[in-house]
A and B are shown apart, each in its own frame.
Chain A
Amino acid sequence: MPLLSEDLRQAIEDYTRRYATRQAALLPALHLIQERFRCVPREAIEELADLLDLHPAQVHDTLSFYGFFRDAGNPLGRFRVWVCRSLPCMLRGGEEILDDLCHYLNIQPGQTTADGAITLEFAECLGACELAPCLLVNDECHGPLTQESARQLVAQLRRAGVQHGV
C-alpha cells in the first residue's frame, strides 16, 4: 500500500502542471505532505521522488534545507503556533507572550504538547507588523495579542485539538 493517497497524488499532480518541469513542484508537494501527515515520512520521500522523477537523495537535499519540514520522529501537533519575535512584536511584548505560552504549555519553542495538540515555535517575522504582537496558527494570523488573549486562544486550540483526536 502506498503511503500517499490517490487524492494527495492528484493534488501534487495538479501542481506539476503549473511549472515547466515536474521537479519544480517539489516544495508545494512537501507542504501538502506535511499538512497531511504533520511530518514528511521516509516512505513519502521515496514515493514523492518517484512521482516527480527525482531521486530520494535529491528530495532529502531540498527538504532538509528548510527547518520547516519535520521528520517522522518529530511530527507537528495539530496546530502549529508561531509567535513572532521580530523587532515590532518584541517592542510590544511578543517575547513575553512566547515565554508565557512556554510556561503555560510546559514546552520549549520547537516542541509539541504531549497530547499532540500544539507545536509552539517562534517566528522571525510574520510580515504582519500592524498586528504586533502577533502569532500564526497554521496559516492564520492573530493579533494584536496580550498574554491573556494569547493564552485564551491557545487554550481553545488545545481543546479543539484534543476533541478532534489528533
Chain B
Amino acid sequence: MTHASINGRMIQPKPGQTILQAAQELGITIPTLCYHPDLSPVGSCRLCLVEIEGWRQKVAACVTPIRPGMVIYTETPGLVEVRRFILSLLLRHYYDAGYGGRERPETEFEHWVRVYQVERRRDSQAQPRFAIPSDPHPLVWVDWNKCILCTRCVRACAEIQGRFVWGVADRGERAHIVAGLGSSMLEARCESCGACAAYCPTGALDDKMALGWGRPDKIVRSVCSYCGVGCGIRLQVKNNRIIRVSGDEQAPVNGLHLCVKGRYGFDYVHHPERLRRPRVRRYLLSGRSKSEATAAEREWVEVDWDTALDLAAEKLTQIWRESGSDALGVLASAKCTNEENYLMQKFARQVLGTQNVDHCARLCHSSTVAALSLAFGSGAMSNTMHDVAEHAQALFIIGSNVTEQHPVFGSMLRQAVLRRRIPLVVADPRRIDITEFATLHLQHLPGTDIALLNGLMHIILKNGWHDTRFIAERCENFEAFAASLEAYPPEKVAEITHVPVAALQRAAEILARHKPVAAIWAMGITQHTTGVMNVLALANLQMLLGNLGVPGGGVNPLRGQNNVQGACDMGALPNVFPGYQPVSDAQIVRKFDAAWALQPTLRSSDVSPTLGLAGKPGLTVTEMVHQFGTGQIRALYVLGEDLALTEPDLPHTRQSLAQGEFLILQEIFPSETSVFADILLPGVSFAEKSGTFTNTERRVQLVRAALEPMGDARPDWHIIADLARRVLARQGRYPAGPWAGWQYTSPSAIFEEMAALTPLYAGISHARLEHETLHWPVPDKNHPGTPILFVHGFPRGRGRFHVVEHLPPAEWPDAEYPLLLTTGRVLYHWHGGELTRRSMVMQLCPRPVVEIHPDDAARFGLNGTRQVRLRSRRGEMLAYVQITTRVAPGVVFGNFHFPGPNNVNNLTNAALDPVSKIPEFKVAAVRLEPVPEAC
C-alpha cells in the first residue's frame, strides 16, 4: 500500500510530510491555532486533532507524519465536539475589552469560534486579568487578556527574528507570556520588528497604529522603501490612507517578516509636512537675480505646475545656451524607481548633453562597484540572501552592522547560525549586535581593513589553505599578489589592527576550513579613502579560497537604499550608461546617441553626432556640489537627495549650496537642502507610484501605487518627463531616435525603453514581474534570471588578483583631536532621518546619541553629563552620551540621522578615495567636551 486517504481522497505521502500538510495539498482545511507554516510545530492547541481509522486516540495533524495506509478523517461529529470543547476552554480565559470598533477585522481565533459556533461559557472571565495595554511599547499593542498561549509569538521572536524576547512564565494553571524576566518588551531587548504581532492569532499582540481603523478598502502588494533587502509588503489602505503594513507572505525575500521601519515606519507618507504644491522663490517670479534678492524675495511662493516647470525649463535652457552642457548637473535618487532613475540620466545625457549625473551610491558602494568591476568585471552582490543563509558553510561579516541596517537579512543570518550551527566571523570596530552570534569577533581599528585582510590571507597562504585549482583555472596575477602578502605577518598586523595574533590565526583557520564562506560587507569597508582597495582585498580573499561562482559563497556587498542597486543599474552614474555600459566606449556612446537622437543637431562631438555627449565620465556628486559653489556648475537638478545632511564635511557643503546659482529640488518634504533650493517640485512617496526597485541581490520587483498622490504632487517620472519636454521645446529640438521621446504613458513603457537599451535587463518586463521574480542579468525574454553570478566565469574573463597595501586613513587621532570618530546608523532610523523622524518609529530613538567607551568617559571627565560637544577640524556636533563597551577605548561612534547641530557629518572628512571618489565617512579625528546641563 503506498497511499493514504484523507476524507476519502487518496494521497501519496511524501517523506517528512505531516497530516496537516498533506491535507493542505488536497485543499482540505483543518483548523489550527498554534500552528503556522513558518514556525516549528508544537501541537499544543489540539484544534487540529484528526481521527485515523484503527487508532484509539485522536492525533494532532500538525505534528503527526502521514504514512501509507492511514485512513484519516478531519471533520467528524466527534472531532467537531472536541474542537468546540477546546475553543470553549480557550474562550473561558479570553477577555475582549471591545476596543477597535465593530469594523475590526476578524482574528484567526474569532474565525474558528464563529465557524464552530462556540458560545462563551457563563463562568468565563468577566473582568480583565491584565492591564490594557499590558506593555508600554509605542508600536506593538499588547493585551494579554486575549492571549490563548499558543506561543506563536515566542516562536516567532526566536525562530524568525532571533531575539528571544518572549517566554512562557509560571507554566501550569497561571501560565502567561512574559518579555524577558517579566520586564517590558523594550527592556527585554525587543527590536520592535512586530513579528510577534504578525503571527498572533488573537490580537493579543497587534500593530498599535492599525487599531481602530477597521478593515482596509484594498490591499496592495508592493516593496518596502527603506533598505536594499527589498521586502515584499502589503499596504492595507482605507480612505487613501495606509492603515497597516504587513509582510507579504508570497514575497520571496521575507514572507511575513519585516523590520521595525518596514512594518511601522510608513506613517511618514501621511505626514502634514508633505509637499503638496510646487514652490518657487519670489525673486524668480519678479525676475530679480538671486544675489540681489531681499529676505522677503527669498520666501517661497506656492505656484501651479506650469509656472514652476516653465521657470525651471527656462533657466536650464538659458544656462545650457550660455555656458554649455557641462555647466549643468543632475542628481538621481536611490529611493526612486528604476524608471525614474533611467529618466534622470536620460535627461542629463540626452536633454542637457552632459555626463554629470550621479546619486548617493557615490557615498555608499561606489568603491564596491569600482573594485568588483576591476576584479571580476561586474560590480554587484554575487549570490542571493537566501543562498547565503541556506548554503554558506561559514559567514564572514566585515564592516556591516547587518542586524540594524539590513534587519530582515540580519535575522536570516542569525537563524543560519542558530539552525545550521555554521561558524560566523565578524570583523568590526564595534561590538555590534550580530557579534552575539559570532564564533569570533575581530575588533579591529577603523581604517585597518586591508592590513587585517592581508594578514588573514598571509596565514592562509603560509598554511597552504588556498584553493590552488580555482586560482590556476580562473584567476590571474596570483604570483605578484602572493608576494605582496609577505609584508603582512600576524605580529605586524596585530600591531596595526589591534587584533591579537591568536584571533587572527583562528579566524584564518575558520575561513579556510569551511567551504564555501560567504563574505558580506557594507559601509564599514567602502567609506574609506582606501574603499576600492578594501573591496579588492575582499575579492582577493574570495578568489584565494575559491569561494566564487558557488552556492553559499560569493562577494556580498549589502546595498543600502531600497533601489541603490537599481539606480546604479540605470546608469545614474557619471561613467556608465544603463547596464554599466561605459561612457568611455565610443561604440556605446554612438548606440545611445542614435537611440536618443535629437534634431536639429545643435551640438555634436566625435562620438556623439546628435547630442554632443562626451566620451568620458562626468562629475561625481561630491565634485558637483563643490563646483556648484565655485560656479563651474551653474544649475543642479536634484531628485530626492538631502545633500545638506548626508555629504561629508557639511559646513563646506552648505557653503557651496548657498553660493550656487540655481537649484531645482524634487522632494516629498522640506529638507535641509530645500533651504538652498530655488524651485521645489513635490514628488510622491513609493506608496503613490508604480515602477520597479532592484534589491541588493539584483532582484527586480514591482512597486505598485496604493494611494492617490497627496495634494497636487505628481509621480516623479511624470515630473521629469514633463520638464524634459519643456526644455526640449525651448531648445528647439525634437526627438528623432527610436527611444528619444518623452511621451510616456506609464512606468512600464519607460521600463520597456530601458530594457531595449540595457542587455542586463533585456529580458525583463513589468508583465513578467507580475508573476515572476528575476535576478539580473536576464539577457532575453525566456531567460530565468541569474541568482548566482560567476558560475561559468567572470565577465572580464579571469578574476584578477590585485596587490593592495595598507594605507592609514586621511586623518588620524593626534594630541589636538585625540579620538577616532566612526559613523553609521541605528536600527530605528533611516539615513538622514527625513522619513523616520516623521514616523512613530522616532519614539524609539528620539535623540542623537554618541557611543563612548567608559574609559574615555572617565578620561574626558563626562561625570554623568548627558550631552557632549564633539569637534573636528571641520565643524562641531552636539549629542547625547551613551557610555558603552560596544566601542573600543579611543573610538567614538555617531550617527547622521539628526539635522543641524546634531549631525555627525558636520565632523566627517571629505577626503576621497582616488578611484571611486567615495568620502571617508568612517574615520575622522575628534575631541569632545562635556556640555553643562543648562545648555
A residues with CB within 8 A of B? 42, 45-46, 55-58, 60-61, 64-65
Among A45, A46, A64, A65, the one with the most B-chain Cβ atoms within 10 Å of its Cβ is A64
**CB within 8 A of A57: which of B170, B172, B180?**
B180
Residues in B with CB closer than 8 Å to A46 are 181
Whether a CB of chain A sits under 8 angstroms from the CB of B165 is yes
For B188, list chain A residues within 8 Å (CB): 56-57
**Which B651-668 residues sit within 8 Å CB-CB of chain A?**
none
Q: Is the CB of B178 within 8 A of A57?
A: yes
What's the Cα separation between A55 and B182 when bound, in Å? 13
The docked-state distance in angstroms from the alpha carbon of A55 to that of B436 is 11
In whole angstroms, how far apart are the Cα atoms of A94 and B618 in the complex? Answer: 94
Interface membership of B166, Cβ < 8 A: yes
Q: B599 CB to closest chain A CB, in angstroms?
A: 69
B170 nearest CB neighbor, chain A only: A64
A sample of 12 cross-chain residue pairs with beta-carbon separation below 8 angstroms, ordered by A number, consists of A42-B181, A46-B181, A55-B164, A56-B164, A56-B180, A57-B181, A58-B167, A60-B167, A60-B180, A61-B167, A61-B168, A64-B171
A45 CA / B169 CA spacing, docked (Å): 14
Which chain A residue has the least Cβ–Cβ distance from B166? Answer: A57
Contact partners of A61 in chain B: CB under 8 A: 167-169, 171
Distance in Å: Cβ of A52 to nearest Cβ of chain B? 13
CB atoms of B165 and A57 under 8 A apart: yes
Closest to B182 in A: A60
Whether A58 lies near B171 (C-beta < 8 A) is no
Report chain A residues within 8 Å CB of B167.
57-58, 60-61
User: Which B residues have a C-beta under 8 Å from some C-beta of A?
Assistant: 154, 158, 164-172, 178-182, 188
Tell whether A64 pairs with B169 under 8 Å between CB atoms, given A45-B181, A57-B181.
yes
| A159 and B168 alpha carbons, distance in the complex (Å) | 40
Given contacts A57-B188, A60-B180, A61-B169, 13 further A-B contacts (CB under 8 A): A42-B181, A45-B181, A46-B181, A55-B164, A56-B164, A57-B164, A57-B179, A57-B181, A60-B178, A60-B181, A61-B167, A61-B171, A64-B170
CB distance from A87 to the nearest CB of B (A): 23
Q: How far is the CB of B739 from chain A (nearest CB, A)?
A: 56
A55–B168 CA distance with the chains assembled, in angstroms: 13
Give the residue name and chain of the B residue nearest to A55 (CB): B164
Query: Could you tell me the distance between the alpha carbons of A65 and B164 in the complex, rounded to whole angstroms?
Result: 18
Question: How long is the Cα–Cα vector from A58 to B154 in the complex, in angstroms?
Answer: 10
5 closest cross-chain pairs (CB), A and B: A55-B164, A57-B167, A61-B167, A65-B171, A64-B169
Task: Give chain A residues whose Cβ lies under 8 Å from the Cβ of B170.
Answer: 64-65
| Closest residue of B by beta carbon distance from A65 | B171
B166 proximity list for chain A (CB < 8 A): 57
Instruction: Name the A residues within 8 Å of B165 (CB-CB).
Output: 57
Q: For the complex, give the distance between the alpha carbons of A19 and B197 in Å.
A: 36
Q: Tell me the smallest distance from the CB of B651 to a CB of chain A, in Å.
A: 45
Q: A57 CA to B189 CA in the complex, in Å?
A: 11
**Which of B164, B180, B181: most chain A Cβ within 10 A?**
B181
State in angstroms the CA–CA spacing of A109 and B378 once bound together: 74
Cβ contact within 8 Å between A65 and B180: no
* Smallest CB separation, A98 vs chain B (Å): 23
Chain A's nearest CB lies how many Å from the CB of B176? 10
Contact between chains at B172 and A65 (CB < 8 Å):
yes
* Chain B residues near A64 (CB-CB < 8 A): 169-171
- What is the CA–CA distance of A31 and B513 in the complex, to the nearest angstrom? 40
- Residues of A contacting B178 in the complex (Cβ-Cβ under 8 angstroms): 57, 60
User: Once the chains are docked, how many angstroms separate the CA of A45 from the CA of B164?
Assistant: 14
Docked complex Cα distance between A56 and B183 (Å): 11
- Determine the chain A residues whose CB is within 8 A of the CB of B164 once the complex forms: 55-58
Cβ-closest chain B residue relative to A45: B181
Q: Kindly state the separation between the CA atoms of A64 and B169 in the bound complex, as whole angstroms.
A: 5
A75 to B539, CA, bound (A): 58
Give the interface centre of B165, B168, B172, B188 by most chain A CB atoms within 10 Å.
Answer: B168
Please determine whether A56 and B181 come into contact, CB atoms closer than 8 angstroms.
yes
- Chain B residue at minimum C-beta to C-beta distance from A46: B181
- B144 to nearest A CB, angstroms? 15
Contacts of A42 on B, CB cut-off 8 Å?
A: 181
| Residue of A42, A57, A65 contacting most chain B CB atoms (<10 Å) | A57
Task: Specify which chain A residues have a CB less than 8 angstroms from the CB of B182 in the assembled complex.
Answer: 60
Chain B proximity of A116: nearest CB distance (Å): 24
Across the interface, which residues of B come within 8 angstroms of A60, CB to CB? Answer: 167, 169, 178, 180-182
Report the nearest B residue to A50, measured CB to CB: B436
What A residues does B169 contact at CB under 8 A? Answer: 60-61, 64
CB distance from B234 to the nearest CB of A (A): 30
Min CB distance A141 to B, Å, is: 27
B180 neighbours in A (Cβ, 8 Å) = 56-57, 60
Question: How far is B843's CA from A39's CA once the two chains are assembled, in angstroms?
Answer: 37
Rounded to whole angstroms, the CA-CA distance of A166 and B76 in the bound complex is 63
Can you name the residue of chain B whose Cβ is closest to the Cβ of A61? B167
B158 contact set on A, CB distance < 8 A: 55
Query: With A and B bound together, what is the CA distance between A57 and B177 in angstroms?
Result: 10
Cα distance A55–B157 in the bound complex, in angstroms:
12
* Nearest CB of chain B from residue A90's CB, rounded to whole Å: 24
Cβ of A65: which chain B residues have Cβ within 8 Å of it?
170-172
Task: Specify which chain B residues have a CB less than 8 angstroms from the CB of A58 in the assembled complex.
Answer: 164, 167
Shortest Cβ gap from B813 to chain A (Å): 31
